[in-house]
Amino acid sequence: MSNNPSAAAFSALNAHKTHLGSTHVAELFAHNPLRFQHFHARLDDLLFDYSKQRVTQATMPLLFDLARAADVEGRRKALFAGEIVNTTEGRAAMHMALRNMSGKPIMIEGRDVMGDVAAERDKYLTFATKVRDGTLRGTGGAPFTDVVNIGIGGSDLGPAMAARALSPFGGDGPRPHFVSNVDGADLGDTLKTLDPARTLFIISSKTFTTQETMTNAASARAFVAKALGEAAVGDHFAAVSTKLDLVAKFGIKSDRVFGFWDWVGGRYSIWSAIGLALAISIGRENFEAFLHGAHDVDTHFTDAPLDKNIPVLMALLGVWNRNVWFYGSHAVIPYDQRMGRFSAYLQQLEMESNGKSVTRAGEPVMHATAPVIWGEPGTNGQHAFFQMLHQGTDIIPIDFMVAAEPTDADPHHHDLLVANCLAQSEAMMRGRARDEVEAILRKQGMSDSEITKLAPHKVFAGNRPSSTFMYRRLDPRTLGRLVALYEHKVFVQSVIWDINAFDQWGVELGKELCNRLAPIVSDASQPTEGLDASTAGLINYRRLMGEG
Ligand SMILES: O=P(O)(O)OC[C@H]1O[C@H](O)[C@H](O)[C@@H](O)[C@@H]1O
């Protein structure tokens, strides 16, 4: 531990935590009228307020020391220089090139990739425009009213999350649908609502081998062939992949196949042609604004000093909460109904990236890594799980987010939405102490014995940390900024934890075992010997049900 350069910084943080003891953030606000000024950062209209975190002005320098000890700045440089940061797969992680709007070259393995990136982007955005304006039509000459993206994980969550978040920006373009699960109900329920003559399917898969996507693609192909004839398949399918040879085998016309590169991780691929369904849904200009928003964050991340650098602050506060206070979960609560898939998107981004137990060198990690990420939009969550956030035994840090103005919704509703968001973070921070509860109950005319019984239930400890993002509107540029902020937060945390944020070996074992079990599951004559007793027992139980 002593030869780890971060160890001293962590020791200092732990000592500082002891010194803070049970200091209540409400007291810190009371003592420092400038607390908000001290603990927020801005990127244009986007504000990141972290004054309700359990930090003081002594905490932040210690966190910046940790960032420096872990060489966040050096590793950031290596990331942006296109170095092989994903060492177990021998790849760079250069999704930033896909949204590089600066005109500057980006080198990966000694080659400027910007020409290829711009050409491919123009190709898929031109295709998107032609689908939107009806230049490209189905076999029978009908324009496309519906677009179905078939993909899973990084080939689904990004465009699905963003198409919903940005739905008011679509105008009268085709309706987007997203099918991911191998559960036939997913594709089946979607197809029930669609007219095959007016539907375009996009098969999105980086590897073009993913079981779920290939199964759904084959069924969708059969659906089109049955309804419109085999010859119609070419007019109703497009594909996005890095494996162009495998796409060709599926029979998709080459001018409808859009590529990307190995240096784009699946969960970082929304900025590539994987965003095609989103681009069709919101149109070229809006999609480009989305990319611009992310590019602004890349510039901010590389240029802003640590104490004003929002992704760095997000990451360090996360480490403070995870590794010093030992909070195991982190909630993301957007006060925006259309951000309903944002936490699901972040689950893949954060938990697939940083849910690791070994360092880059393959040694056991010294600190807990990714917390559980979860959440639902406010105000709905308030009427469900917020009880636990306010009074449960676990403390769960929260990211709140809210737009200053509604995109298109009623302003009165929006005022209430904002008031709810602020009230919740205030309540988490302030809490309500026993004497305050007692005074309220006394005022209500309760007797002392009634107060003694009820008061403990009405106490809120407070001191529950949260950060709040506020931005003018949830538009394409804002969403691009938010996603890129979280991407770089994840990277910074991976540097501090010394793990590889860009591989995902943990998803492989289940896939392998599924391939072994699938023939046994689908063929009752296959023996279950050699399987563990639980797996064999479950297969046999299902077989019995099939007989009965
Ligand atoms: O795009 P694909 O190759 O179909 O991969 C889809 C997803 O499945 C994999 O198992 C990984 O866990 C994800 O990172 C990936 O996004």
User: Closest by alpha carbon to 264, among 255, 254, 274?
Assistant: 274
Residue having the nearest C-alpha atom to atom 8 of ligand 1: 153
- CATH number of the structural domain spanning residue 333: 3.40.50.10490
Residue having the nearest C-alpha atom to atom 14 of ligand 1: 266
Lining residues, ligand 1, CB within 6 Å? 152-155, 205-207, 210, 213, 266-267, 352, 504, 507
434-472 pLDDT, tens digit per residue, is: 999 999 999 999 999 999 999 999 999 999 999 999 999
How much of the chain is in helix, strand and coil states, percent to nearest 5?
55, 10, 30
- Ligand 1 mutation pick, 504, 505, 512, 514, max ligand atoms within 8 A of CB: 504
Whether 111 and 205 share a structural domain: yes
Confidence of residue 3 (pLDDT cuts 50, 70, 90): low
Q: Is residue 2 part of a domain?
A: no
Q: How far is the CA of 491 from the centre of ligand 1 (A)?
A: 19
Residue span of the structural domain in which 511 resides: 506-547
Q: How far is the CA of 205 from the centre of ligand 1 (A)?
A: 7
Catalytic residue among 288, 350, 352, 438: 352
Q: How far is the CA of 270 from the centre of ligand 1 (A)?
A: 13
- Ligand 1 mutation pick, 150, 182, 205, 210, max ligand atoms within 8 A of CB: 210
Q: Is residue 512 part of a domain?
A: yes
pLDDT at 379 over 80: yes
Q: How far is the CA of 265 from the centre of ligand 1 (A)?
A: 9
Q: Is residue 88 part of a domain?
A: no
Q: How far is the CA of 266 from the centre of ligand 1 (A)?
A: 6
- Ligand 1 mutation pick, 507, 508, 512, max ligand atoms within 8 A of CB: 507
Report ipTM (2 d.p.).
0.98
Whether 47 and 159 share a structural domain: no
Whether 499 and 526 share a structural domain: no
In the predicted model, what is the mean pLDDT of residues 528-548? 94
- According to DSSP, residue 174 is labeled P
Whether 209 and 310 share a structural domain: no
Q: Is residue 449 part of a domain?
A: yes
pLDDT at 548 over 90: no
pLDDT at 5 over 90: no
CA of 207, closest atom in ligand 1:
3
333-352 pLDDT, tens digit per residue, is: 999 999 999 999 999 999 99
pLDDT at 2 over 50: no
487-523 pLDDT, tens digit per residue, is: 999 999 999 999 999 999 999 999 999 999 999 999 9
Whether 129 and 223 share a structural domain: yes
CA of 266, closest atom in ligand 1:
16
Report the alpha-carbon distance of residue 321 to residue 504 in Å, rounded.
24
| Cβ within 8 Å of residue 459, ≥6 positions away | 431, 432, 433, 434, 437
Q: Is residue 532 part of a domain?
A: yes
CA of 213, closest atom in ligand 1:
4
Q: Given this model, what pLDDT does residue 1 score?
A: 43
- How many helices (H) does the chain have, and how many strands (E)? 23, 13
Query: Is the separation of the CB atoms in 35 and 51 below 8 Å?
Result: yes
Whether 369 and 472 share a structural domain: yes
CA of 511, closest atom in ligand 1:
10
The better pLDDT of the pair 403, 172 is held by: 403
Whether 219 and 177 share a structural domain: yes
Number of domains, the chain: 4
pLDDT at 62 over 50: yes
126-167 pLDDT, tens digit per residue, is: 999 999 999 999 999 999 999 999 999 999 999 999 999 999
Q: Is residue 43 part of a domain?
A: yes
Q: Is residue 263 part of a domain?
A: yes
Whether 52 and 149 share a structural domain: no
Pairing relationship of beta strands 199-204 and 257-259 according to DSSP bridges: unpaired
In the predicted model, what is the mean pLDDT of residues 165-179? 95
Task: Give the strand order in the sheet containing 175-179.
Answer: 175-179, 146-150, 199-204, 237-241, 257-259
Q: How far is the CA of 212 from the centre of ligand 1 (A)?
A: 10
Which residues make beta-bridge pairs with 364?
358
Catalytic residue among 249, 383, 443, 457: 383
Q: What is the largest CA-CA distance in the chain?
A: 82
Q: Is residue 420 part of a domain?
A: yes
Report the alpha-carbon distance of residue 203 to residue 155 in Å, rounded.
9
Confidence of residue 251 (pLDDT cuts 50, 70, 90): confident
Whether 283 and 226 share a structural domain: yes
In the predicted model, what is the mean pLDDT of residues 376-397? 97
The angle at the Cα of 405, spanning 26 to 414, to the nearest 5 degrees, equals 75
197-240 pLDDT, tens digit per residue, is: 999 999 999 999 999 999 999 999 999 999 999 999 999 999 99
Is 352 noted as a catalytic residue in this protein?
yes
CA of 157, closest atom in ligand 1:
16
- CATH number of the structural domain spanning residue 518: 1.10.1390
Whether 367 and 265 share a structural domain: no
In the predicted model, what is the mean pLDDT of residues 305-319? 98
In the predicted model, what is the mean pLDDT of residues 256-274? 97
Whether 405 and 474 share a structural domain: yes
Is 511 noted as a catalytic residue in this protein?
yes
In the predicted model, what is the mean pLDDT of residues 475-488? 98
Residue having the nearest C-alpha atom to atom 13 of ligand 1: 153
Whether 344 and 375 share a structural domain: yes
Query: Is the separation of the CB atoms in 203 and 147 below 8 Å?
Result: no
